[in-house]
Amino acid sequence: MKTAIITGVTGQDGSYLAEHLINIGYRVVGLKRRTSVICTDRIDHIFAHKNFNLEYFELDDPGVIYRIINKYNPDEIYNLAAQSHVRVSFDTPLSTTNTIVTGVTNVLEAIRNTNRNIKFYQASSSEMFGDNPEVPQNENTKLQPASPYACAKVYSHHLTRNYRESYNIFACSGILFNHESPRRGETFVTRKITLAAARIKLGLQDKLCLGNLDAMRDWGYAKDYVRAMHLMMQHPTPDDYVIATGKSHTVKNWLEEVFDIADLSIGDFVETDERLFRPHEVPHLLGDASKAKKILNWQAKTDFKSLAKIMYESDLSYVKSKI
């Protein structure tokens, strides 16, 4: 039985990855920050599984990751933990940068100094391409970050490559484009829209305020994308891969799709609030996942319309359960 450590296991990606790895026979050690509010709802369904363990850790405390490596002797480490909200990173640039940069450095150093046979996965981001007008973006596209979050991710991406080449560590990065699900945080625009639509449909909310509706993104299903993370770690040679659907849509397109499913009028319920705009906008992200398809035999299974339906119907059930 292989053992995998997942930092950020209580997040969207961490929970789906833990679920996927347990289902294919792994022992999973999930790492989370200690918080005063219980936030394990995304992993409650696997909490009691015999092959799942939960440990507390902090990204800026290197001693913890050394202790956990020595305790569990993992085969793989997936580094998913971060302050991941791009807009928030403009308000909290130092803490956002510290957690992302310090976290990846501590984990790579722990691997280098304990067991270089441990495979390492770094959660890179399409936000690293920033406002580069070149589309679609692939593994060779120039990185041009347009937020503190993206800048920190660029550092982490390059550091992962540096440790791969300098110390012969199996270290790879998944450059994941936007990926959503019913487990997406409620402050992210896709989930904000599906949750608001459900609440409006049930008469519990009057208005939905949104920022830039013209931003174009390549949206996929997080459950599809964690499969790609695992596939990268099974390939004989470590490398970096863009993971995307290859199709982009505007925020307005997502809004229209969700409100159409809910049979709601956008004009009656939606307002634009300039306070929700980013100081530096990323206009168009569109991924070219040809490399992942060719080498890993991976491609997205869930299309845009299906994803909107999955998320709206999940939120409708969720809101009804709270009434």
Q: What's the 3-state SS for 176-226?
A: ECCEECCCCCCCCHHHHHHHHHHHHHCCCCCCEEECCCCCEECCEEHHHHH
What confidence tens digit (pLDDT) does each residue in 273-298 have?
888 888 888 889 999 999 999 999 99
How many angstroms separate the CA atoms of 296 and 282, rounded?
Answer: 29
What confidence tens digit (pLDDT) does each residue in 293-316 have?
999 999 999 999 999 999 999 999
Give the closest residue to 44 by CA, choosing from 181, 183, 223.
183
Domain 3-179+222-243 has CATH 3.40.50.720: yes
Domain 185-217+247-286+302-322 has CATH 3.90.25.10: yes
What confidence tens digit (pLDDT) does each residue in 239-271 have?
999 999 999 999 999 999 999 999 999 999 999
Find out whether 69 and 35 touch, Cβ atoms under 8 Å. no
pLDDT(219) > 80: yes
Share of the chain above pLDDT 90, in %: 86
Q: Where are the domains of the chain?
A: 3-179+222-243, 185-217+247-286+302-322
Q: Which residue has the higher pLDDT, 147 or 33?
A: 147
Which of the residues are catalytic? Answer: 125, 127, 149
CB neighbourhood size of 236 (10 A): 5
